[in-house]
Amino acid sequence: MPQQVVRLIIAFAIFVGIFFIARMFLVPATFGEFGHYRGNSLREIAALPVKYVDKKTCTGCHMHNANLLASDDHKNINCQICHGPGYKHNSYFEQNRDKFMVRDSLPDTWKVDSTRLTASIAVPDEFHMTRSQEREFCLKCHLLNAARKEKTVKQIDINDHYDINKRCVKCHPPHAPNS
Ligand code: HEC
Ligand code: HEC
Ligand code: HEC
Ligand code: HEC
């Protein structure tokens, strides 16, 4: 065997050896436990605080809003896209159901008891959902934008769309914008 090939083989063996030693230190302990990723990453993600709830959960207390939404053009938009994450809100009102709610006509559904909603029971801010009436809020999706497909979301020119000083929700109820 020519001498230079022997040297190449030795150099190659050294590099492979270094690779395996470095790998021992660099690969995280739980890598490969479940698949080609770090096993601990699953545990870390599972331990994060919950923020969102199922849309069905909202429906259990807001059936009328949900029915209205389902009847019109915003039906494919999840409540939490417009109102923010609902986990805290949901937990709070589940625990305080009796103070705020009465049974609705269907089984397992409740509705906000408007007669009992007096200023004497203050709900801390962190448990409220957001509900923006600002034009900017609707325009996040509906502002004329050449990069957005007109077929997916209808767009408007804000300088040329009816009364430019009026809030959109005055003319388009957000849960049934086309009604
Ligand atoms: C396209 C955005 C959008 C979606 C989707 C949406 N909402 Fe709303 N919602 C609004 C806005 C904006 C207001 C505030 C309207 C106002 O104050 O005039 C509102 C108001 C409310 C209110 C308070 C007053 C009322 O009208 O009863 C409740 C409760 C509510 N929404 C529940 C829901 C639930 C439950 C869903 C999902 C089934 C949902 N919303 C989906 C935009 C939305
Ligand atoms: C256990 C019952 C319950 C569930 C579940 C629930 N809500 Fe509510 N929600 C209420 C009550 C009660 C009020 C009225 C509170 C008030 O006016 O002070 C309310 C009020 C609201 C409002 C008006 C703004 C506010 O916070 O006062 C919006 C918007 C809303 N809910 C959206 C949602 C969405 C979206 C979901 C699902 C993620 C949801 N709710 C789940 C009971 C519930
Ligand atoms: C998350 C994105 C999103 C937000 C926020 C949003 N919309 Fe929409 N909107 C849609 C989609 C998607 C449709 C259904 C497709 C279409 O018709 O454009 C729609 C449909 C509509 C339509 C019916 C268009 C038609 O076909 O005639 C109106 C009107 C409308 N929205 C007004 C509003 C108003 C007012 C607000 C603010 C309260 C709002 N939208 C917030 C995404 C959004
Ligand atoms: C003074 C009432 C009024 C206000 C305010 C208003 N609109 Fe409209 N909008 C209408 C009417 C009426 C139509 C239906 C006729 C048409 O398509 O032009 C319409 C149509 C639409 C459409 C469907 C357009 C299409 O191509 O079919 C969208 C999306 C829309 N509006 C969004 C908005 C948004 C977002 C705002 C707030 C920035 C807003 N509108 C404010 C009256 C209003």
Q: Are 20 and 61 in a shared domain?
A: no
User: 175 CA distance to ligand 3 centroid (A)?
Assistant: 9
Q: Are 60 and 112 in a shared domain?
A: yes
Strands 101-103 and 110-112: antiparallel
Task: Determine the average pLDDT of the residues in 167-179.
Answer: 94
Those residues with Cβ within 8 angstroms of residue 109's Cβ, 6 or more apart along the chain or in another chain: 59, 60, 61, 63, 103
Among the atoms of ligand 1, which is closest to the Cα of residue 112? 29
User: 105 CA distance to ligand 3 centroid (A)?
Assistant: 30
The answer, yes or no, to whether any atom of ligand 1 lies below 6 A from the CB of 83, is yes
Number of domains in the chain: 3
For the stretch 87-124, what's the b/e string if a residue is b when 16 or more beta carbons lie within 10 angstroms of its beta carbon? Answer: ebbbebbeeeeeebbeebeeeebbbeeeeeeeeeeeee
* Residue 118 pLDDT exceeds 70: no
Domain that holds residue 169: 132-179
Q: What is the pLDDT of residues 58-107, one digit of tens each?
A: 999 999 999 999 999 999 999 999 999 999 999 999 999 888 888 888 87
Q: Are 67 and 36 in a shared domain?
A: no
Q: Are 126 and 142 in a shared domain?
A: no
Q: Are 125 and 57 in a shared domain?
A: yes
How high is the mean pLDDT of the chain?
A: 92
pLDDT recorded at residue 135:
95
Q: What is the pLDDT of residues 17-29, one digit of tens each?
A: 999 999 999 999 9
Q: Are 68 and 39 in a shared domain?
A: no
